[in-house]
Amino acid sequence: MFNSRNPAFRYPTGAVANCLPVHFKIDMPRDLHCSAARLLVREDSTGETQKLDMFWCGMNGDNHEWWECHFAAQRPGLYFYHFEVTTWRGVMQMHRAFGGTDTMSPEAKDDWQLTVYERSFHTPEWLVGGVMYQVLPDRFFRSGKPKTGVPADRTLHGSWEEEPEWKPNSRGEVTNSDYFGGDLAGIMEKLDYLKSLGVTCLYLNPIFEAHSNHRYNTASYEKIDPLLGNEEDFRLLCTEAKKRGIHVLLDGVFNHTGSDSVYFNREGRYPTQGAYNSQNSPYSSWYNFCSWPDDYECWWNFKTLPDVIETNPEYDQYINGSKGIVRHWIAAGASGWRLDVADELPDTFLDNLRTAAKMENPDALVLGEVWEDASTKSAYGKRRRYLLGDQLDSVMNYPFRNAILGYLLGHDPAKMLEIIMNVLENYPPQVVRLLMNHIGTHDTERALTVLGGEPTGDHGRAWQAQQKLTPEQRELGLKRLKMAAVMQFTLPGVPCIYYGDEVGMEGYKDPFNRGTFPWGHENEELLSWYRKLGKLRRLLSCLKEGTFTPLKADDHTLVYVREDSIDAILVALNAGENPYALYLPDEWRTAEPVFGEAPDRNSGIHLHPLSVTALVRQKRPSPSGPFPLGKPETPEEALESIKDKIMENIEQEPEMKDELMDFLKKIQKKT
C-alpha cells in the first residue's frame, strides 16, 4: 500500500530541502471500503503533529484505489510520519515495516522518517567521485630528514619492522610513547604511490605537537609535532599533493587536549602557566575542575585527556575565530577537517567551526566522526543536527562498514542491504556523495583480520599480540577483502583506504592495527586490485552521484546497479561456499566485465564461491568504442595511464627512477 523508497508512492524519495512539497500516495484495496485517509506528520524538534487529509485520486486497476496529499516542511529538521485510514473495519494505522514498506499490524509503532535539510546546503565538489586514503603519520614512511626540537623522552624503534609496544610499563600504564619516526617528508616521498591508487584526498591522523604516537592528546594546536617536521614541511606537502590532484584533510581533536600540553601543563613540561599550574592561567577557564587542580573532567576518565569547555568564548575564539586554528591551517594548505568525536562537540561550536572553515575556503570539507546513523543521532539527551546544512558536510560511514563486513561474514544479505538503504534514505544527497566509506580505521581491527581471523571477543592484548592469520585464514581473508573493496569503491560515497589495507596488512585492535607500512613486502596482486578499482573510480561517471538500485539480496548473494545518464555498473557478489548462476536483465547481456567473467550465451553470469563480477556498459556512444578500462578514451587519459604505470615501476624498482623519469619527460614533450 505504501513504500517510502518508491517514487510512485512518495516523490521525491529520500531527504528533501525545506519548503519543497513532497507528494504522498497510498494504494488502498477496494475491499477495505476506505472512506477517509490522513497523513500524520510529527516534527521531531517540537513534538507537534500535523494531520493532513488525503484525497481520492483514481483507481489503480479494478481492485485498488489511490489516495494522495502533499506536505512541505518549512523548517529543516526530522519529521516522522504514518497514515491513518477509515475503513469498514474501523480506523486503522499504517506504520513502517522492513524495507520502507507498510504494515497495519497493531503492534507496529515505527514511523517513516523524512529528513529535511536547509535548501541552501552545499558540499564541496572536489571530493565527489574520488578516493580517500588514511595515514597514521608515525607509521607510514620515514624520510630520514633531520629533525630539531624532538623531546628527549621519546623512544624510537631501531627497526621499521618491529612490532608496536603494547605491554604496560612498571606502573601498569600503556603510554603509547614508542615511535617509528614516520614524518611529513616521508609522506611527500610517497605521493606518487598514492596517485597510482587513484587517491584524491589524503586524511592525516593528528599531526600537531603531542606526546604520544597517535597524537590525539594535543600539546599545541599551533605547531606541527617536531618528529613529523614543521609548518614549512606541511605547506610543502599540501603544495606537492595538489599538483597530483590530492587534497589534504586534517584531524581536528577539539573536544579535549593533552594533560601534557601548553594549555594544561600537568607534567610541567612547558614554561607557561597551564590550567593545572595556576587558577590565574589564561587557559584555566577552558577546563572544568571539580576541585582544582587534580579533580577535573576528562575524556572517558582518561586523566591524560582533560575535557575542554567548547562553549567557553575564549576557547571558541581560539579555535574558530578569524585568526583561529581552523582558519590558520586551511590557509596553510589543508582542504578541510575531520572532527574527532563530533558527537561530543556542542552545536554552537560546530556551527562556528563550519563558518570559520567556509570563510577561509568555501570549498573546505568539514567531516565528522559519527559511528551511528548520523541523521538520528542523539547525544547528551539531545537530537543532533549534523546533516541539516549548517554543521557537517558528511561523516565517517560506520554503518556501511558494518553492512559490508557483516554480509561477507555470513549475515543475512537483506538485513545488510537494509542498513545501506536506510542511510541512503535518511541522509541528504549532498552528504551521501561525500560519505567516508571505510572498512577499517585506527580505531578498529584491520579488515583482513576481521574477514579471515577469529573474532576479537573478550581477548586481551596478550592474546591479540600472538595472533597471526594462518595461510588458510589469510587466503580466505584476501578473497573476502577483494569483495569488500569492490563494494567500498562502488557504493554511494567515497572509499577510504586505511593505509596498508591495499597491500595486505593485518592486526587486531590498537596498537596491532597500527603497524608500519610494509614497504618492499607488499601483496602485489592485492595492490593491483586496488589500483584497478582506483582507475574505475576515475573513469566511471555513475560512481560520482549515480543512482543505487538493489536487484537481489538473498542466498549469500548481493546484486546492485549504479547508474547515471552516461554509464552504469552492475556489481554481483557471492559470499557463499557454492557457485551461483545469476540471470541478467536484457540491457546487461553485452556489458563488458571489469571483474569476473563475461555473460554467457544464456544471458547469465556464473558467480564462483567468494567472488565478485562487475559489468560496465556505456549509455552514450564513445568515440573510442567500449568502456576503456584497458584502453583510455582520450590522449590525456592515455598519458595518465602511462604515468601511473611508470610510477608503479619506480615503486618496484627505485634504482630505475632517473631513467624512467627521463622516459616520462620525453613522452610528455611529444604529447
**Residues 530 and 497 sit within 8 Å (Cβ to Cβ):** yes
Burial 551-566 (b: 16+ CB within 10 A, else e): bbbeebbbbbbbbeee
Q: What dihedral do alpha carbons 262, 263, 265, 266 form, nearest 10°?
A: -160
DSSP string, 177-212: -EE----HHHHHHTHHHHHHTT--EEEEPP-EEESS
d(CA 429, CA 165): 43
**Residues 18 and 431 sit within 8 Å (Cβ to Cβ):** no
Amino acid at 495: P
The CB density around residue 668, as the number of other CB atoms within 10 Å, is 11
Residue 347 falls in the annotated catalytic set: no
Rounded (to 5) percent helix, strand, coil in the chain = 30, 25, 45
The CB density around residue 604, as the number of other CB atoms within 10 Å, is 15
As given in the structure block, the three cell numbers for residue 387 are 546533516
The CB density around residue 649, as the number of other CB atoms within 10 Å, is 15
SS3 286: helix
| Alpha helices for 340-432 (secondary structure H) | 347-360, 398-408, 413-426, 429-432
d(CA 586, CA 553): 20
Residues 6+ positions from 455 with CB-CB distance below 8 Å: none
369, 506, 567, 648: the catalytic one is: 369
The CB density around residue 640, as the number of other CB atoms within 10 Å, is 15
Strands (E), 516-591: 547-554, 557-563, 567-574, 580-583
Containing 237, the helix (H) or strand (E) segment is helix 231-243
As given in the structure block, the three cell numbers for residue 269 are 613540561
Burial 173-210 (b: 16+ CB within 10 A, else e): eeebebbbbbbbbbbbbbbbbbbbbbbbbbbbbbbbbb
- State the greatest distance between any 2 C-alpha atoms of the chain, in Å, as a whole number: 85
d(CA 647, CA 603): 39
Residue 294 falls in the annotated catalytic set: no
Q: Cα–Cα distances in Å, from 492 out to 395, 432, 544, 641?
A: 13, 6, 8, 25
340, 344, 425, 644: the catalytic one is: 340
Q: Which residues are catalytic?
A: 340, 369
